[in-house]
Chains A and B, each alone.
Chain A
Amino acid sequence: MNKMTSEGYTTADGRKIGGTLMEMKNITLRFGGVVAIKDISFDIHEGEIRAIIGPNGAGKSSMLNVISGFYVPSEGEVRFRGQKRPQMRPYQVAQQGIARTFQNIALFKGMSTLDNIMTGRITKMKSNMAQQALWWGAAQREEDEHREAVEKIIDFLEIQAIRKTPVGRLPYGLQKRVELGRALAAEPKLLLLDEPMAGMNVEEKEDMSRFILDVNDEFGTTIALIEHDMGVVMDLSDRVVVMDYGKKIGDGTPDEVRGNQEVIDAYLGVSHD
């Protein structure tokens, strides 16, 4: 990586990364007396794959919840596309172009794959209820247009065969893929992935890694992901934030992080003598 500025940088494999998309400034998150996140700052650049790693309970998921608006930080500010983000409800954050998947799959189990992914486009649907009630004009047109966009995602994720299957009946690996599809359907600026490979076997992990790289490459989507599989993190991500006990202990390229003594201590433990 050459010199790092807020204007962007070039990665080791020659990809150009844009300017700052999202900036977390001195974020602190408290639940009563428990401090989940302690004064953390980092930024996410446009077009990069940013990983957040750390041991269990480090506050990674809490950080993702702050970004997606589910938790309101006790202190600090979230800046998105150069502007301070006011306190908003999660659905308003989604309308700004931030989509996410969940650690434990949170699909709509009673709905088909198609309907799940269509629901992901809800921020783009404009027709009013009267039009929908009569299935007339904009409602019908919109349904077909969005269906076309959703079919592209279905093709991209290779899930054509399960289009009309209720997702509750799908195996775990496919459910993870449908959930990625639902997040992609919103055409997000920033995609948050909370442990996309948890509980997968090697082939499924390879598939998922390929999808993540393709999403980043083909759609130019910025991705922030949490993952425990170090091999995956080091291969996929451009830059890594390391957290431990709610604090940031490392930030940089995978190679820099790998050599960081504090990170090694957090993962391997340190003797107290």
Chain B
Amino acid sequence: MFYREAGDFKTSYGSDSQTFPIKFDRMRYYVVLVVAFGVVPFIINDYWANAVFVPFLIYAIAAIGLNILTGYCGQLSLGTGGFMAVGAYACYKLMTAFPEVSIVIHVLLAGGVTAGVGVLFGLPSLRIKGFYLAVATLAAQFFLVWLFNKVPWFYNNSASGQISAPERTVFGVEVTGANTDAWAKYMICLVFLVVLAWVARNLTRGTVGRSWMAIRDMDIAAEIIGVNPLKAKLTAFAVSSFFVGVAGALFFSVYLGAVEVGEAFGINKSFLVLFMIILGGLGSIFGSLAGAAFLVLLPVLLKNVLVGGLGWPTDLAAHLELMIVGALIIVFLIAEPHGMAQLWRIAKEKLRLWPFPH
């Protein structure tokens, strides 16, 4: 009923392979974009920006990045926090070294630096798979955090060992620093997310994406039909790390403003992003967004209901959150390994016919 295909004929291969082949879906997507760009910036306040929207947008970028590597290419990584730290520190060094260059360029360059580091730590993937690769990326996580703590050059010899973002503007509007407006933070993260999600979609539906998925599903067969495994795996590491690096740069410069590496980019961050894609759906861009939204909103919701509504102590609510997330991951892994994205697909299949049985 809502997702009618009848009468919606495709006359070219281009229109048959578009992202939203069903008209209603396409319209809904445009509505979401219009609301995100045209309505939310005008009503957003500091609380909503800092508690919900900005972390969601940034984690969504990181989740798409990890999903490219783990969900599309099948290479498990536990180094997301470390790669986010690379993005953050690269951005910090660039911001302080070249203050006259736009922050947008710095964030993209920080992504590029992270891509390079990601490829370096991706090299073992050519020899090892699965759990062993996960352990190798775990080593990257600990090594990178240690490196940024240990070498004062990375934090410009500041006494606290922290890095803090100087004030920078885009088109005359301040986007980093203490006096940034909520809507400006929101907008810059939104633009990055929309552009990067579009890029991720393009890559995953084309030749590169198919070679990633081929490696994921059956690596030997992929090589025998002509996929270069070296190229496929390293491009996955590069693109994934680029996304994660951009997320790290934004997380530091726009969201937190000041960062201590072990606290902001520890192993917990790696697991958080991994849980996002497991819950949201491996191998799905929408799943990355859904997972990020869910794990950003859940603590806010629980806090409001349990602490604000029922008057429970804060630490109890925090513990309960961990238990709920853990339970949900087990439930999803057993009941729906493809996550919320798959639930959404099933719901759409049902809606195509509803309320008529045929």
A69 to B223, CA, bound (A): 10
Contact A133 B225 (CB under 8 A): no
A107 to B214, CA, bound (A): 9
Q: How would residues 58 to 76 of chain A score, 1 for a CB under 8 Å from any chain B CB and 0 otherwise?
A: 0000000000111000000
Contact B225 A132 (CB under 8 A): no
Give the contacting residue for B227; candidates A122, A132, A143; CB below 8 A.
A122
A38 to B224, CA, bound (A): 24
CB closest chain-B residue, reference A142:
B207
A118 to B221, CA, bound (A): 14
Contact A91 B213 (CB under 8 A): no
Give the contacting residue for A106; candidates B202, B203, B220, B235; CB below 8 A.
B220
Q: Is B283 an interface residue (CB 8 A)?
A: yes
Contact A122 B202 (CB under 8 A): no
A122-B207, A132-B208 are contacts. A110–B213 as well, Cβ < 8 Å?
A: yes
A133 to B229, CA, bound (A): 20
Contacts of A122 in B (CB 8 A): 207, 210-211, 214, 225-227
Q: How would residues 177 to 204 of chain B score, 1 for a CB under 8 Å from any chain A CB and 0 otherwise?
A: 0000000000000000000000100110
Q: Is A90 an interface residue (CB 8 A)?
A: yes
Give the contacting residue for B206; candidates A100, A135, A148; CB below 8 A.
A135
Contact A111 B223 (CB under 8 A): no
Q: Is B217 an interface residue (CB 8 A)?
A: yes
A111 to B14, CA, bound (A): 19
Q: Is A180 an interface residue (CB 8 A)?
A: no
Contacts of A143 in B (CB 8 A): 13-14, 17, 206-207
Contact A133 B226 (CB under 8 A): no
Contact B213 A132 (CB under 8 A): no
A108-B214, A111-B217, A147-B17 are contacts. A95–B207 as well, Cβ < 8 Å?
A: no
Contact A89 B207 (CB under 8 A): no
Q: Is A127 an interface residue (CB 8 A)?
A: yes
Q: Is B304 an interface residue (CB 8 A)?
A: no
Contacts of A142 in B (CB 8 A): 207
Minimum CB–CB distance from A244 to chain B (whole Å) comes to 26
Q: Is A134 an interface residue (CB 8 A)?
A: yes
Contact B217 A127 (CB under 8 A): no
Give the contacting residue for B13; candidates A70, A107, A119, A148; CB below 8 A.
A148
A144 to B206, CA, bound (A): 11
Q: How would residues 96 to 129 of chain A score, 1 for a CB under 8 Å from any chain B CB and 0 otherwise?
A: 0001101000111111000100111011010101
A91-B227, A119-B210 are contacts. A106–B12 as well, Cβ < 8 Å?
A: no
Contact A135 B202 (CB under 8 A): yes
Q: Is B43 an interface residue (CB 8 A)?
A: no
Size bracket, chain A contacts: 35 or more
Contact B199 A139 (CB under 8 A): no
A139 to B209, CA, bound (A): 12
Interfacial residues of chain B within 11-29, with CB under 8 A of chain A in the complex: 12-14, 17
Contact B13 A147 (CB under 8 A): yes
Contact A91 B203 (CB under 8 A): no
Contact B223 A89 (CB under 8 A): yes
Minimum CB–CB distance from A272 to chain B (whole Å) comes to 41
Contact B225 A119 (CB under 8 A): yes
Contacts of A260 in B (CB 8 A): none
Contact B213 A111 (CB under 8 A): yes
Contact A91 B228 (CB under 8 A): yes
Contacts of A44 in B (CB 8 A): none
Q: Is A186 an interface residue (CB 8 A)?
A: yes
Contacts of A119 in B (CB 8 A): 210-211, 213-214, 222, 225, 227
Interfacial residues of chain A within 137-179, with CB under 8 A of chain B in the complex: 139-140, 142-144, 147-148, 151
CB closest chain-B residue, reference A102:
B221
Q: How would residues 307 to 341 of chain B score, 1 for a CB under 8 Å from any chain A CB and 0 otherwise?
A: 00000000000000000000000000000000000
Q: How would residues 230 to 242 of chain B score, 1 for a CB under 8 Å from any chain A CB and 0 otherwise?
A: 0000010000000
A140 to B211, CA, bound (A): 17
CB closest chain-B residue, reference A148:
B13
Contacts of A129 in B (CB 8 A): 203, 208, 235
A125 to B210, CA, bound (A): 11
A131 to B94, CA, bound (A): 28
Contacts of A186 in B (CB 8 A): 225-226
Minimum CB–CB distance from A165 to chain B (whole Å) comes to 13
Q: Is B93 an interface residue (CB 8 A)?
A: no
Most buried by A among B199, B220, B224, B225: B225
Interfacial residues of chain A within 69-95, with CB under 8 A of chain B in the complex: 69-70, 89-91, 93-95
Contacts of B224 in A (CB 8 A): 68-70, 90-91, 93-94, 100
Contact B210 A111 (CB under 8 A): yes
CB closest chain-B residue, reference A114:
B17
Contact B208 A106 (CB under 8 A): no
Give the contacting residue for B226; candidates A91, A111, A115, A144; CB below 8 A.
A91
Contacts of A107 in B (CB 8 A): 217-218, 221
Minimum CB–CB distance from A83 to chain B (whole Å) comes to 20
Contact B202 A134 (CB under 8 A): yes
Minimum CB–CB distance from B139 to chain A (whole Å) comes to 28
Q: Is B352 an interface residue (CB 8 A)?
A: no
Q: Is A183 an interface residue (CB 8 A)?
A: yes
Given contacts A69-B224, A122-B214, A132-B202, 13 further A-B contacts (CB under 8 A): A94-B224, A94-B226, A106-B218, A107-B218, A110-B216, A111-B217, A122-B207, A127-B207, A139-B202, A140-B14, A143-B13, A144-B12, A186-B226
Listed by A's residue number, 11 A-B pairs whose Cβ atoms lie within 8 Å are A69-B224, A107-B218, A109-B218, A111-B214, A118-B210, A120-B225, A122-B210, A125-B207, A134-B202, A144-B12, A151-B13
Give the interface of B toward A (CB within 8 A).
12-14, 17, 199, 202-203, 206-208, 210-211, 213-214, 216-218, 220-229, 235, 283
In order of increasing CB-CB distance, the 8 nearest A-B pairs are A94-B226, A106-B221, A108-B217, A123-B226, A135-B202, A147-B13, A132-B206, A125-B207
